[in-house]
Structure 1
């Protein structure tokens, strides 16, 4: 019989910059999500505006009420940087923004839901990206820490769980959205990689120290996406390619974050490319590693990779790290967006992370995007979503029960529909359907889907319902 630990946290997660709308309301400034240049995803024909999104800014009370009814005990949301500091280098914070998030936290606490706060999630003020090139410039680290300090001071008596930086390992590979940065034309990819990796590690470390200084009992983590790859075949070059890809797309971020130093393989990476291995702030990175309480992750898919043939080892490694595309295994099904569905891979990732780092893991994103057609009452029968979460939760349970992995909780992506990272509302992740046409009061209708009722039963049974077909 499946039964999760008694203190297991059940809930969901959103990126507020993708859900709130109200993009210039109450003093908010534009951020890198608002202004990004979109490359269309599969089947995408329009860009949906973040001016409205899910109207979460005005309807979060309604959304939290539905989360409470679902049985949530934890909810992860992000404090939009440009709502607190519209330009990023403002002398004073925007009080309306601070007031908004404090009210949201109060609403969660009143509902018996543990707030989990992310401090940067695709929401760097656009001004910092344009003026300073984001986290490529160390000046932005100082501005980020000023922002963190103000948010923490405001919420320190109310929030226990903090996440410093969303999907930090993606910053060198998707720098515009994740780090507010672009690679200058005269800078080689490996040099840019080194700069972004170090600056985001330093930003994370200083955020950890800022939080712990203000709230010694706080639970603080960094976060990575888990872009897990396996060899396309048993060929040795494919096995090596998967090792290299995982090392630099996943392990490196947590290796530094947990040990407080740069590993020998990375120092060799720099040496072999003629890049000086000089780093400032290593003492802060080390101190932060000793104060890290848990690791938070997002997981969506597993892919395969093929080896690159090149007698020049450095060129081969660079091709795998920076250029090589990944594939969907022919043994796996995929979503309409071509994301492989691999719940057993989830168990593998969880076990590998725990064995390597021996720190509790908080799953703060896992979900599936679907094209949905509601009935005349806006009800959606999303059996595919139910199956996806059932299978992935069974793998979470197996990781706990059979691999000894300590897992804090499972926060599904997501309670409500909202804009994807590519700004399309037809790509839906939520247990609650959000209509896209405002009513006469400017509100968007919320309708629980079939999965809402299913997840409610899973939470209420502490996972026992997963045994049912």
Structure 2
């Protein structure tokens, strides 16, 4: 008998900016991702203010879900998906984010997607904003630093909540919102990069702008959650955070305190606001250390209290070690921290730590005691087509098997785990590097870093393996 709940939501995850393509079809506007070039592990993608002729912008076509959605959803159904995590491209509905009226063609596209999912009894899990902020809002307001963005986001949500009632039940407000606590998040999440032109990892580190932007995202999230709870009682509203499991580098008490500080800033700051409806007690210390002064209006505290999430979701890819000494950041550890000598790493330097997922699940559930869902987890690898025309990705099966075992262990520990959607169930453009070589999917897409490829789909070995996992509700992992 399966340890996981009978209604466990097995599925896979994607994001419009990395998957959808059709970047300017039917009036769609440009998002921040449409301004990002391709890159590689050694040469990261860039943000350009103006589009450069002859430069590849991979999100423009991505892996073209826009024109392949029926084929892709059929593949998901063949695997037995119960849930399909996706996002809506804000600029497909409101090209600049500031229009009064939405684009009907954009709304209709998602109608078609949701109808196709319903045909196979697959539940959509929709991220409302997933690294695709309208670039026009960056140009005018420096992204979420401008409080004006709250009302624009609210109008966007009013539109999609009403349009897709009866079709969508599960919603996430912002993807990996706590990336905004790091400089890299200024490009991907907060949009506080007005006038910036350069490599992703060289984005200016301006904590005042980022934390002010985060405050506005918290308010926007809370307001639309309140709207959903009042007007659409069937909707279940969640948040989405990166969970970056970290350990003290040594048993030196100074390392323990340093790790606690990292965990608070990286893993708890944003979710404490989302779940508890208020800033945590340690927030002021974070602000003071960074020289941040959050501008708040008198009504802000009440807004946060009135918009708490129903369930907690997170991405989990790696763990790291934290030292009180000078930063010992390792190759690939994009959020800081030193490599753990007890762990192996992926081709991109991301440390592989299934036990860290079990630890994370226990910590999250102990803290909040609301249902939890792992909505991103996976192995980026260089998949090769063998002479037999197949992709033998046993390394991916091994990775996912160990992480599913860790989830089952957490459930046995007492965690209320509601579902699992591995990242990039089909190959998509990498968010961190802008490349195709870093593949995650159960389905291989014929698309390459130079922009070539016919976009055809083929199943990897992991496809049939995951199909058996779902059919057995996690009992059959070998």
Normalised to the residue count of structure 2, the TM-score between the two structures is 0.88
What residue is the counterpart of 1:207 in the other structure? 224
Three-state SS of the structure 2 residue aligned to 1:340 is coil
Partner of 2:34: 34
CA distance in 1, matches of 2:161, 2:454: 31
Query: Equivalent residue for 1:319?
Result: none
**For residues 96-121 of structure 1, what are the alpha-carbon distances to aligned partners after superposition, in whole Å with 9 as ceiling and x for unaligned?**
11000111011001111011111000
Per residue, is there more helix in 1 or in 2? 1
Match of 1:428 in 2: 439
**Residue 358 of structure 1, aligned match among 359, 363, 369:** 369
Structure 1 equivalent of residue 281 of structure 2: 264
Is residue 114 from structure 1 mapped to residue 123 from structure 2 by the alignment? Answer: yes
Relative to structure 1, the CA distance from residue 44 to residue 270 in structure 2 (aligned partners, 3 Å threshold; closer, same or farther) is closer
Where does residue 238 of structure 2 map in the other structure? Answer: 221
Matched, 1:71 2:113: no
Alpha-carbon spacing, 1:180–1:120, altered in 2? closer, same or farther (3 Å): same
RMSD over equivalenced CA pairs, Å: 2.4
Alpha-carbon distance in structure 1 between the residues aligned to 2:104 and 2:57: 28
- Any idea what the Cα deviations from partners look like across 1:413-467, whole Å, max 9, x if unmatched? 1221010112211110100000127xxxx9521101000000000001111112x
Q: Secondary structure at the match of 1:88?
A: coil
Residues 1:404 and 2:414 are matched in the alignment: yes
Which of 464, 469, 474 is matched with 1:458 structurally? 469
Q: Does 1:232 align with 2:249?
A: yes
Q: Distance in 1 between matches of 2:117 and 2:124?
A: 7
Task: Summarize the Cα distance change of 1:444–1:193 in structure 2 as closer, same or farther, 3 Å threshold.
Answer: closer
- CA apart distance, 1:198: 1.1
Cα pair distance change 1:274/1:101, threshold 3 Å: closer
Counterpart Cα distance in 1 of 2:387 and 2:131: 35
Deviation at residue 197 of structure 1 after TM alignment: 2.6
- The equivalent position to 1:328 in structure 2, one of 302, 317, 339, is 339
CA 1:424–1:275 in 2, change beyond 3 Å: closer, same or farther?
closer
Structure 1: distance between partners of 2:135 and 2:335 = 30
CA distance 1:54–1:276, change in 2 (3 Å) = closer
CA distance, structure 2, for counterparts of residue 53 and residue 270 of structure 1 = 38
Q: 1:184 to 1:272 in 2, by over 3 A?
A: farther
Match of 1:50 in 2: 59
Distance 2:358 2:474 in 1: 16
Secondary structure, in 3 states, of the residue corresponding to 1:415? coil
Q: Are 2:307 and 1:288 aligned?
A: yes
Matches within 5 A, 1:79-158: 79-158=88-167
Name stretches of at least 5 consecutive residues in structure 1 with no aligned partner.
310-315, 317-322
- Cα separation, 1, equivalents of 2:75 and 2:336: 40
1:386 aligns with 2:405: no
Alpha carbons of structure 1 residues 405 and 271: separation in structure 2 relative to 1, 3 Å: same
Q: 2:214 aligns with which of 181, 193, 197?
A: 197
Task: Supply the distance in 2 between the matched residues of 1:233 and 1:38 (Cα, whole angstroms).
Answer: 38
Match of 1:300 in 2: 317
| 1:79/1:120 contact within 8 Å kept | yes
Report whether the alignment pairs 1:8 with 2:17. no
Distance 1:243 1:183, change over 3 A: farther
Counterpart Cα distance in 1 of 2:170 and 2:476: 28
**Alpha-carbon offset, residue 325 of structure 1:** 3.4
CA shift in 2, pair 1:244/1:115, >3 Å: same
1:56, distance to aligned residue in structure 2 (A): 0.9
In the alignment, the residues of structure 2 paired with residue 40 and residue 450 of structure 1 have an alpha-carbon distance, to the nearest angstrom, of 26
- Contact 1:47–1:424 at 8 Å: present in 2 too? no
Deviations 1:221-254 (A, max 9, x none): 1110112211111122221111111101110111
Distance 1:308 1:183 in 2: 34
In 2, the alpha carbon distance for the partners of 1:276 and 1:260 equals 20
Aligned to 2:258: 241
Does 1:178 find its partner at 2:178?
no
Structure 2 CA distance for partners of 1:247 and 1:379, relative to 1, 3 Å: same
Distance 1:276 1:449 in 2: 50
Contact 1:172-1:193 within 8 A present in 2 as well: yes
C-alpha contact (below 8 Å) 2:3/2:411 kept by paired residues: no
Deviations along 1:338-391, one digit per CA (max 9) or x if unpaired, are 000000000000000000111110111111100011124642000010001100
Q: Secondary structure at the match of 2:81?
A: coil
TM-score (norm 1): 0.90
Offset at residue 59 of structure 1 (A): 0.3
Q: Aligned equivalents of 1:383 and 1:326: distance in 2?
A: 29
Equivalent residues of 1:172, 1:196 under 8 A apart: no
The whole-number CA distance in structure 1 between the counterparts of 2:161 and 2:271 is 23
